[in-house]
Structure 1
Amino acid sequence: MKRIHNIVQKSSFLVELNGLTKLVRMKQWVKNFFVLAPLVFSNQFLNINAVISALFAFLLFCLAASAVYIVNDLKDIEKDRAHPQKSIHRPLASGMVSPMSAVVLLVLIYMLLALAWFYFPKIIYVIFLYLLLNFAYTFKLKHEPVIEIFVIALGFVLRVYAGAVALSVPVSHWMFITTLSISLYLASIKRRQELVGSGVKGRGVLEYYSVSLIDRFAEMSAISSIVFYSLYVMQVQPKLIMSIPFVMFGLFRYWFIVETLKGGESPTDVLLQDWQIILTVLLWVGICAWVLLDI
């Protein structure tokens, strides 16, 4: 009986450990690669000290993003339990992780971020702003139409800014507006697919939107992304002009996935699962690195 009890305890521990890994949503950390954008465009990706600083900023943002997910899941636990999909896939709603374990993990993450302040204070200032923004989003702003889309997009802008702060380089106006435009595009597409897939039951704010309205948001953001990126290339880095077609193809391919393959509700899934998107990103990064090395 004692052996059976030990096996049951070990099994329960493994289930909760698996739930904790899902709770921090490690797959979503791919979004934090935006932090590394200044490393590429500042032409410091061969500087070992710059690379280390950028990677620390990336890891700290991963912790911060996980903290945001935990707070959101704790806040919405009862609502998620009533949702047909989230009640199965969300660790707290499904019972894989207890609320107490989630709180302990959240406190641990906050402690790690507080400790990092002594070594990377400027990065932590940006992360603190990110946490405040998402705290406001979780408890209020996610119910405000249009504002909530911009809050999501600003989270990506702050990632880029954190990467620039880590390297002590300025964020160009072009990089700021291009990042904002691309992020607005992705956020709009996500809301569109949620509306198409689950209707207003999936998210309360969706009752204020229509597919045609969000399509216009997405189209305007996509066009802005291409225009502003092209202006950046032509005025700041003319040798990167060959990278523009890859940006355009990536946006075209993403829209194809949305319209034809009914994807796009999770930008992360699209990035990790569609081989054409993966190849496009790799080629774009490769071209940028090759061209900038030659400058």
Structure 2
Amino acid sequence: MSDDANIPLCVDLDGTLLDSDLLVESGLAFVRANPLRALAPVGWLASGGKTGLKARIASEVDLDVTCLPYNKAVLAVIEAEKAKGRQVVLATASHISYARRIAEHLQIFDRVLGTEDVNLSSRRKAERLIADYGDKGFDYMGNSSVDLPVWKHSRKAWVVNASKAVVRLAEGQGNVEKVIDTRGNVLLTWAKALRFHQWMKNLLVFAPLLAAHQVGHLDLVLRGIFTFFVFGLCASSVYVLNDLLDLPDDRHHPTKRNRPFAAGKLSVFAGLAVAPLLLIAAFGGALWLLPWKFTATLACYYVLTLAYSLVLKRVMMVDVIALGMLYTIRIVGGAFAFGLDLTFWILAFSMFIFLSLALVKRYAELVDARKKGKEAKARGRGYYPSDLEMLSSLGAASGYLSVMVLALYIQDEHTISLYRHPEFIWLSCPLLLFWVSRTWMLTHRGEMHDDPVVFAIKDKVSLVVGVLFGVIFWMAR
């Protein structure tokens, strides 16, 4: 038997075995479930320190350990070491109740050490392992600077996904066995987390400029570009916060579980730091160069989105109306940014068409659930697969109402004065009827992306329809 077989391998949890942090995740889960008690953890920390905070949150939050983002490379190392006959110990600063449930789920640990009476982190963890196994009597696998005291007293150090500075400090102690790095391209990962592709929705801020035939004014176009980026920063802040609050639901979703935070490719703590920075940049830019009415609209957008993430997305029908409003708010914000008047027609059209698209989104989710044989209410939503028929009726009706609004717009006196050949706009009505009908048919067949706007941007037929729309209105001008 090799010397390794007589030396236990002690494995850290947060950031090592797990591509996340249980304290932060459980804290977010608590806030999500109890938004009115969001500041309660601050009081628990002040009265009981980290040990008391972890104990209280563990008693309040029931985490689903089966879908946490476990590091596959670390699991492979553990299995290989166990095959050598080694004892493997889970040694974590997370609360002991979570640690035991994880050990029970994975079935790979011979012993579990976690926070109980004291916060088992850094020097306290080192002292506990020295007391149990002796100085240099264990190997340790960790990931951060708080693990340096433990590595110092271990026989061999395994470093997982640590910063370059931590790797240098660990190597300076002279006992690093292996450095494991499973992180991908950080910039590409952040681009995915910030959902830059979703910024295309912010092109709606230009709708009032196009409707008013003011695209020839360079100063307004430049202001529109700035407005586009301000809305983008605010939207990305919301996307990050939404992903953090939706971690449990996303991890049960067939595609959303691959999002950077749900998959553990980005740390939850980093998300909590970036979200407010993006928000500050967005509102700072709005206050600096844009009218106060736009800033107020941006604030309404953020508040509605936050309410949607925390509560509204789980309330039947309120969720899709809120989604439709979020699209319309972009148009309202554009009008205020350009100093243009809002018309009844553009508001009515946008509300009906975007309500239809919001219903497409919900319908697509339920189609996927029905295909998998699920008849229970969709996780994190207020709908059952049996609601499909009603949702399709409501969604198609809303889409067709947008066509009717477009038809009535053609007969408006202001429209007749704005266009030299308004009769050409009638050609857009059958075109829009075709697009709405085709969108719902594809959704019914289960061929719709879970975000219809992203689908439309990538769909060749939708792009052709968009170009034809532009040609029709150009002919009418």
With the length of structure 1 as denominator, give the TM-score of the two structures: 0.89
The change in CA–CA distance for 1:260 and 1:144 in structure 2 (over 3 A counts) is closer
- What amino acid is aligned across from residue 287 of structure 1 in structure 2? I
* Contact 1:37-1:160 at 8 Å conserved across structures: yes
Q: CA deviation at 1:103?
A: 1.8
Aligned to 2:415: 237
Aligned to 2:298: 127
Aligned to 1:194: 365
Matching residue within 316, 338, 341 for 1:170: 341
Q: CA deviation at 1:260?
A: 4.0
- What amino acid is aligned across from residue 268 of structure 2 in structure 1? P
Are residue 32 (structure 1) and residue 202 (structure 2) matched? yes
Aligned to 2:283: 114
- What amino acid is aligned across from residue 66 of structure 1 in structure 2? S
Aligned to 1:98: 267
* Contact 1:257-1:264 at 8 Å conserved across structures: no
The change in CA–CA distance for 1:114 and 1:264 in structure 2 (over 3 A counts) is closer
Secondary structure in 1 aligned to 2:440? Answer: helix
Secondary structure in 2 aligned to 1:93? Answer: coil
Most deviating of 149-158 and 60-69: 60-69
Structure 1 or 2: larger strand share? Answer: 2
* Contact 2:363-2:443 at 8 Å conserved across structures: no
Matching residue within 269, 280, 283 for 2:454: 269
Are residue 183 (structure 1) and residue 361 (structure 2) matched? no
Most deviating of 229-238 and 22-31: 229-238
Q: CA deviation at 1:10?
A: 9.4
- What amino acid is aligned across from residue 284 of structure 1 in structure 2? F
Give unmatched runs, 5+ long, in structure 1.
none
Aligned to 1:152: 323
Q: CA deviation at 1:25?
A: 1.0
Q: CA deviation at 1:74?
A: 0.9
Superposition map of 1:214-253 within 5 A: 214-235=391-412, 236-238=414-416, 239=422, 240-253=425-438
Aligned to 1:258: 443
Are residue 51 (structure 1) and residue 213 (structure 2) matched? no
Separation in 1, partners of 2:250, 2:446:
27
Most deviating of 254-263 and 182-191: 254-263
* Contact 2:366-2:385 at 8 Å conserved across structures: no
Separation in 2, partners of 1:42, 1:27:
27
- What amino acid is aligned across from residue 398 of structure 2 in structure 1? S
Q: CA deviation at 1:176?
A: 0.4
Secondary structure in 1 aligned to 2:382? Answer: helix
* Contact 2:367-2:446 at 8 Å conserved across structures: no
Q: CA deviation at 1:104?
A: 2.1
Secondary structure in 2 aligned to 1:192? Answer: helix
Most deviating of 97-106 and 173-182: 97-106
Separation in 1, partners of 2:450, 2:402:
20
* Contact 1:15-1:96 at 8 Å conserved across structures: no
- Superposed CA RMSD in Å reads 2.3
Structure 1 or 2: larger helix share? Answer: 1
Separation in 1, partners of 2:313, 2:452:
18
Aligned to 2:242: 72
Separation in 2, partners of 1:55, 1:222:
29
* Contact 1:40-1:289 at 8 Å conserved across structures: no
Separation in 1, partners of 2:388, 2:252:
25
Aligned to 2:382: 205
Pair member with larger Rg: 2
Most deviating of 18-27 and 36-45: 18-27
* Contact 1:27-1:268 at 8 Å conserved across structures: no
Separation in 1, partners of 2:443, 2:336:
35
* Contact 1:253-1:277 at 8 Å conserved across structures: no
What is the number of equivalent residue pairs in this alignment? 286
Separation in 2, partners of 1:37, 1:211:
32
